[in-house]
Structures are given as structure tokens and as C-alpha cells.
A and B are shown apart, each in its own frame.
Chain A
Amino acid sequence: MQVPRLEMLGVRKRFGATIALDNVDFAVEPGSVHALVGENGAGKSTLMKILAGVYAQYDGEVLLGGEPTIAVVHQELSLVGELSIAENIFLGREPRRFGVIRFEELYSRAAGVLAELHLSMDAHTPVARLGIGQQHLVEIAKALSRDARILVLDEPTAALTESEAETLFAILERLRARGVGIIYISHKLDEVFRLSDRITVLRDGRCVSTDPAAALNKPRVIARMVGREIGDVFPIVERAPSDVVFEARGITVEDPNVRGKLLVDDVSFRVSRGEVLGIAGLVGAGRSDLLMALFGAHPGTKKGEILVEGRPASVRHPWDAIAHGIGFVTEDRKRYGLLLDQSLLHNMTIASLRGVLTDEDAETAAGERSVRDLRIKAASVVVPVETLSGGNQQKAVLAKWLLTGPKVLFLDEPTRGIDVGAKQEIYVQINRLAAGGLAIVLVSSELPEVLAMSDRVLVLHEGRVTGHFTRDTATAEAVMHCATGEAVAV
């Protein structure tokens, strides 16, 4: 029996009247991976913030054996784009003499850290030039360079491609072998089962269970997370698409930073009333660029035609798109979707205000209707939207676009970073909207989601359409082959 390296006993934390954590016990053994799962708002982040020392006031005990250094890799990057990989890794603790940075030592030590992680990157490269996935790997390297004995990873694969995720898993295996205690937070249960030795489920601030991973399976974990059995995550419905609402013809988008480089190359598609068109592809395939361009929000030069209900539509600005009945639930809700410090109500109505004067009462009425329709959980419509959980924030963005009365709705990664229960609710809403006659274009990195929700699937690879499937022909393998550019099926 090993002595636990880190133990949290009876941890309790309240914010005002809300109890965020209630009597939580949690322990991490050295040389093991302990997964922490639970819906958004279950208390995972709060627990980790207590561990990282962000919250100094709490009840309960945190016992640290020996002198463990704790390194936390947050979902959000904390890198400085202009600085090199090496400078980022040692930011704030550069090797120095008399206050002057010793660059030779900095770079040789950084190269050592990268080599140890089997990352083939040049330590001199400015971080801004790396892809988002590689930046995450640098973030992890930065955390590890402190020789941490406890490593906390919060949704580390959310922005990684599959091969980058593999690299990460290999790194974690080596760290485990070296005796590092790893706390792994993820919504992706496949990863959780693949990596972890033990799994702790949190729900509503309480610790539901801690078991060896071998004693669990996915349905049981999901049931414990949501407190109820979920039969099928994806509710399947029969749909009857009718006339074409939206058509894109020969859309081509040039990279605003690199002349001649095409982000989207001659993409055409159409989507009908009551139909869900899925767009699959790996990160960087140009899916978001395509939607941004169609919405009049891409900084690059755009060519091609857009037809709404058969009539050519000139979309040069987002307001043109809205006027033509296009709605766009953008990816990364905090960055592109929400006015975080403004009220839920004002977030929901901001895209549908017309005329000169606002009518607070009509707005409130419409807002409260949206809250009911989409089952948004909020104390009232006037609370700042930043106080809502991720799933409810996502619904607020959805509500914003539904209030514009769209004919076609683009959804870009609508379920990223939200928990299983909230995801399922989003799927239910997508089905409800399609049944109501809305045409939906769904972009998602999660292949099961695209396959289960879409009537047809379009696959992009490096800006080009490499595959077009119907619900019957779309299999994970076939779509993946097209997404990696190994096959073409148009």
C-alpha cells in the first residue's frame, strides 16, 4: 500500500448561498492516472482551483505528502505568442545571471524538455506560428518543465487533432511510469477509460463514487454523472427535408495573411427545409472558414455565390446575412458568441433588435419564452451570462440566433466543452428546430455527433470537398478516410 501523494478530505466550498463542493474526498496516488468526470457545474473546476491555490478559503483538508509540485494545464492557453517555445516554457523563471537571461542555457534546457517528451519542435519557433494543437503540447511541456509531481490536465484534447492526442497519451504513459500523479479531467469518456486507473464521478458538488476504471463501463459512468440512465445519447428522428433553402456555389476563400493560399477551395452545397447537413473534417480543414465566409464575417477575399430560397444573396457583412435569414451559432462561445458581462436577456436579444428604441418589456417576454423553450437554467434573465454553466451559455447563444427568425442556421461546434446531459439537450433542440422547418448546417469535430445528427454529411479536407454521404452511406471509417484526404467520395 502506497502512501497517497495527495489527499483532499471533506472539502467544502460555498459561493454565497450556492454550495459548489460538499464534503468531497479525493486522492491521487503517484504513478497513476485519476480521472475526474462530471457534468459542467459538478464542481470539477472548483476542486482543481482549490488544489492549485486559486481559492484560499474552503473547509476541509488538503494533505500533500513530501513536497509535491502541482502543475495545472488549463483549457485556456497561457502562452505569449510573440515569444519562442523555449521562452514560453521558462517564462518567469528564466535561467539568469545578475538579472540577465542566459539564452544558451534557456534553449538547451528547453530542447531537453521537448526531447524528453518526444516532441519534434524547434525551441526557437515563436508560439504564434504553431497550430493550436501544438500550442497545447507546449503548454503541457511548460507544466512538466517544473518537474511537477502532480499534473492536472483540464480537457487537454479539446483542441488536439487525433495524432496530437496520441502524442499526448504517449507522454502521459511515460509520466505515469516515472511516478507522476496525473489528474485527468475530460468529457471524452473513451479517453478516460483508455488512460485512467481510477475514476471519480462528481455530481452537484458531491463525490458520487471513486472506483478502479476496470470496474466501470461508459454507460455506468454516464448514469452516475447525470444521476439517471441515458438510453441513447443521440435521439434519432425521421426527418422529411423539402425545398432547398440555402445554396452555396463555388465558395472560395483566400487566406488574408498568405496570398494565394486558399482556405476554402470551390465548395458548393445546398441544404433544405427541415434538413441537417453535417460538415465533417479535421481541424484546419476550413470548416469554420467556410461558415465565416458564408456569414460575411471572414477577413479573407471571398468568391462564389450564395442563394437563399433560390434568390442570389449578397452577403458582405454579418448584418447582410442576418437580413437574409442566416443565423450562426459560432464556435468558442466566450470569444465569438457572448457578451460575458452583460445580462442573459441582452445576450439573447442583441442580434434581433430592430428600429430605434428598445422595448425592455417585449424583450423580457421574448427572453423568458426562449428560456422556457430551450430549458435554460438561470435564476432570472437579468443575471450576467458569465454566471451560467457552459451548457446554458451555449443555449443562450442558440437563443440569440433563434430570436432573429432564421431560415438557415449554422452551428459551429455547438457542443464543445459542455457535458453529456447538456449535449443531449442541444441535440434535442436541433431535432426540434429541424422538425419545425429550419435548415441546419452542423460543423463538429466529434464524428459520432455528425454521423448521428445529419441527414447528409459533407467532408472537407484542406479546404476542398472530399466526400459527400447520405445518412445510410456515412460510416465513421468512410468519412475519416475522406477527412484525412486518403479517399475521395463525391
Chain B
Amino acid sequence: MKLRAYALLFALAAIWLLFQWLTVSDLYPYGLFLHPVNLANLLKQMSVTGIIAVGMLLVIVARQIDLSVGSVVGLAGGIAAMTQGWGLVPSLASAIVIGLVIGALHGSLAAWLSIPSFIVTLGGLLTWRGVILYLSKGETIPVRLPAFRSLGVSLLAPPAGMALGAIAIAVLAWITVRRNRARRMHGLTLWSPASVAARIIVPAILVVVFVYVMNAQGGIPIPVIVLLAVATAGAFYTQRTIFGRYLYAIGSNPEAARLSGINSSRSILGAFALLGALTGIASILHTARVGSASPDAGTLMELDAIAACVIGGTSLMGGRGTVWGALLGALIMASLDNGMSLVSVENATQYIIKGAVLVAAVGFDMVGRRGRN
């Protein structure tokens, strides 16, 4: 597991350096790709699929799948744009609620009627796209509320970004120290001071670099903050709550999970509902960034989200995968997208390369796994 994470980080670094080298020009003698402005752009592009990937992870870990999220992005984004007249909060809330309701519907059909989720959400993919085409009469709806629009394009003021970073580091340090105290209370071996320091300092450096780079181009983009918040919540849900643990149990062995007293239907329904709500949030950011809700928004986004999970080490057989892995997968996919656009790779070639990368990533994983057995 550890080895795999390093391999992914190495792949990401290789991709970044490659594009940095490919984007060297007279104007940018050291390359354009890692320029703060481009990095911020990349992260903004990634935030929509990243948020969906976090929800998708919950569903895949429980050995389910959701193919409908792209269409739900289109529908929820369209609803948000159509309800702008009610004001910002009702409009945003309606997008999230519609996503939640659709997710809960898919979840109940899969859990209680035992219709395979592949079929339920394949139906959803068609149905919800049809619904938004019908509601919008095929027309693109512009975002008129300035506050709505700013969700997709605004930056967090640099001092606020620094404060946020400082809070994150403080919370991290507090949790780590407290964990160690709890270990003593339970009579477990304590982490060494060096290990405690490493557990605080390594992530702290990442936070500092991140805030510094983003502030260098004007501040952290709002969608990126939303993504980080969602990912943190997702990681907490999967690693620190009982519902999260149950999802892994169900994905690992549904029968054993049932006999261990787990209410599988409820857990699966919950995962789909959360994915739906996250899809609603993603649709808001997508609509805000583009500046309008088009009825074909979000097309193929389900595949990006699934690819992100899979590249990040999630098993489609369930029981295995982490939020941070899925995020790393999304970052790799977004880097490929962004980099290839920068060096003007043709659209057709981009599809081919992304497809090949997806298959190759899983292929390497499988070969590595076989070697270990």
C-alpha cells in the first residue's frame, strides 16, 4: 500500500517534470507548467472531478458503481441556474438537494430491490440527461448572480489563505499529539518524538508550499478550498467513522458483513446519497466556473471520477481504496489534461493517451500485486 502511494507520487512528479520541460519557451525559460497561475488553473479544473471522485470512492469501496454522476451534474447545475431568481442560498441548496435525492433513489433501488447499481445508474445516466434537456428546452442558462459566479472564479485573499494554512497545521499538530496521549492511555506503544515530529512536519511543509504558491498568483481559488474541505471530510468519514468502516466491510465480503450485524442496505443507501450531494456541490462549482449551465454539462464526468479512483488504488471489487489515493488519481488525470492542452496536443490524441494511462496504471498495479503473491 505504501509502495503504491510512492509509485503514484513518482508518476505525478514525472508527469509534472515532463510537461515543465515541454513548456520551456523564450517567454518561460524554466517552463510554464509549474507556474503558480497554471498550477492554480490545474487545481481548479481538478476540483469538480475531485469532489465527485471522493463520493465515488465511497460507492466503489462498497462494491457498487455510479455511472449517472455526469448527467446529475448537468441536471443539478441546470436546476441551480434556473432557480437563481430565489436567491443564492435557495439556488445552491436546490442543486445539492436534487443530487442528494437522486443519489438516495439510486441507493434504495440498488440496496432494497437488489437491482445491480450498474443498471440503476446506467438508467440514471440516460434519465437525468433527458430530464435536464426537457427542463432547459435544450438551452444554455447563463449565471446571473455575481455571488454565484464568484464561487467558481474568486480567490481567497492571501492573508486569509495564510490564516487557513496556519489553522490546518495547528489542528494537525493538536490531533497528532492527542493521538499519542490516547495511545498511552490504552497502554499501546507510543510513537517516538521523531515520528510525532515527522507526522506534523511533512504535511505542514506541504501546506506551507501550497499556500505560498497559491498566494503567489493572488490566492487560493475557492473551488480548491471546497475540494480540500470535501476531501478532508471524506477521509474522516472513511477512516474515522463506523459508517466508513462498514463500507469497507461490505465491499470486502458482503455476506460476512451482514452476519456481523451490519445493515448493508442502509450503508449503501448512505454512500449513494452522499455521492449525490457531493455531485450537487460539484455541479455548482462547475456551473459557476463556466458561467452558465448547459444541458450537456458533465458529460463523461462519471468516467473521470471512476478513473481517478482506480488510478488512486481503489479496487472495483470493493473493500480497498482511500480518499487521498482517489485525489491523487484525479490530480494525475487533471495534470495530463492540463499539460496536454498547454503543449497543444490534439483533442483526439488526448483521449487516446488518457485511456492508455488508465489501463496502464491498473496494469502496473496488477503486475506488482502478482509479484508479491
Contacts and interface: CB of A to CB of B under 8 A. Distances in A.
Interface string A325-339: 000101000011111
Interface stretch (A229-237, A251-259, A354-362): A354-362
A83 to B, nearest CB: 23
Contacts of B245: 346, 350, 353, 358
A169 to B, nearest CB: 33
Contacts of A297: 258-259
Contact of B320 (A319, A341, A360, A362): A341
A368 B256 CA distance: 22
A444 to B, nearest CB: 19
Given A318-B261, A365-B188, A338 B242 contact: no
Contacts of A355: 242
B143 interface: no
Contacts of B255: 335-336
B144 interface: no
A341 B369 CA distance: 13
Which of B242, B257, B260 has most chain A Cβ within 10 Å?
B260
Contact of B256 (A339, A354, A359): A339
B356 to A, nearest CB: 28
A328 B179 CA distance: 33
A328 B263 CA distance: 17
A358 B242 contact: yes
A341 B241 CA distance: 19
Interface string B255-272: 111111111000000000
Interface in A347-396: 350-351, 353-362, 364-365, 368
A336 B248 CA distance: 15
Contact size range, B: 20 to 34
A276 interface: no
Contacts of A361: 179, 182-183, 185-186, 188
B186 A364 contact: yes
Contact of B259 (A336, A357, A359): A336
Given A356-B242, A361-B182, A368-B188, A339 B259 contact: no
Query: Of B187, B252, B258, B319, which is in contact with the most chain A CB atoms at under 10 Å from its CB?
Result: B252
Given A318-B261, A336-B259, A342 B319 contact: yes
Contact of A319 (B185, B244, B263): B263
Interface string A182-208: 000000000000000000000000000
Contacts of A342: 248-249, 252, 319
A328 B243 CA distance: 22
Given A339-B253, A342-B248, A351 B241 contact: no
Output the residue of A319, A353, A359, A400 with the most chain B CB within 10 A. A353
A409 interface: no
Contact of B253 (A318, A328, A340, A351): A340
B114 to A, nearest CB: 12
B261 A339 contact: no
A261 interface: no
A359 B256 CA distance: 22
Nearest to A318: B261
A392 B188 CA distance: 22
Contacts of B179: 361
Contact of B186 (A295, A335, A336, A362): A362
A400 B242 contact: no
Contacts of B243: 356
A342 B260 CA distance: 14
Nearest to A295: B259
B242 A357 contact: yes
A353 B262 CA distance: 10
B262 to A, nearest CB: 7
A322 interface: yes
A321 interface: yes
A317 interface: yes
B86 to A, nearest CB: 34
A121 B208 CA distance: 74
A287 B257 CA distance: 22
A328 B245 CA distance: 21
A356 B248 contact: no
A328 B240 contact: no
Given A318-B261, A342-B248, A336 B256 contact: yes
Interface in B128-185: 179, 182-183, 185
A148 to B, nearest CB: 27
A61 to B, nearest CB: 24
A155 to B, nearest CB: 22
Contact of B319 (A317, A336, A339, A400): A339
A314 to B, nearest CB: 15
B186 A365 contact: yes
A338 B253 contact: yes
A338 B260 CA distance: 10
B171 to A, nearest CB: 16
Contacts of B242: 353-358
Contacts of B188: 361, 364-365, 368
Contacts of B241: 356-358
A339 B186 contact: no
A321 B253 contact: no
Contacts of B319: 339, 341-342
A358 B240 CA distance: 5
A51 B319 CA distance: 33
Given A339-B319, A341-B320, A346-B248, A357 B240 contact: yes
Contacts of B258: 297, 318
A388 to B, nearest CB: 15
B267 to A, nearest CB: 12
A147 B186 CA distance: 61
A366 B259 CA distance: 21
Contacts of B252: 339-342
A309 B370 CA distance: 51
B254 to A, nearest CB: 10
Contacts of A346: 245, 248-249
Contacts of A318: 258-261
A365 B189 CA distance: 10
A364 B179 CA distance: 12
A350 B183 contact: no
Nearest to A320: B261
B276 to A, nearest CB: 21
Contacts of B253: 335, 338-340
Contacts of A368: 188
Nearest to A351: B260
B262 A328 contact: no
Please list the 5 inter-chain residue pairs (A to B) with the smallest Cβ-Cβ separation, ordered nearest first.
Answer: A365-B186, A339-B252, A319-B261, A351-B260, A322-B261
19 contacts: A297-B259, A328-B259, A335-B253, A339-B319, A340-B252, A340-B253, A341-B252, A341-B320, A346-B245, A350-B245, A350-B249, A355-B242, A356-B241, A356-B242, A357-B240, A358-B241, A360-B240, A364-B186, A365-B188
Given A340-B253, A346-B245, A362-B186, 20 more contacts: A297-B259, A317-B261, A319-B261, A319-B262, A321-B261, A330-B256, A330-B259, A337-B256, A339-B252, A339-B253, A339-B256, A339-B319, A341-B320, A351-B260, A355-B242, A356-B243, A358-B240, A362-B182, A364-B188, A365-B188
Interface of B: 179, 182-183, 185-188, 239-245, 248-249, 252-253, 255-263, 319-320
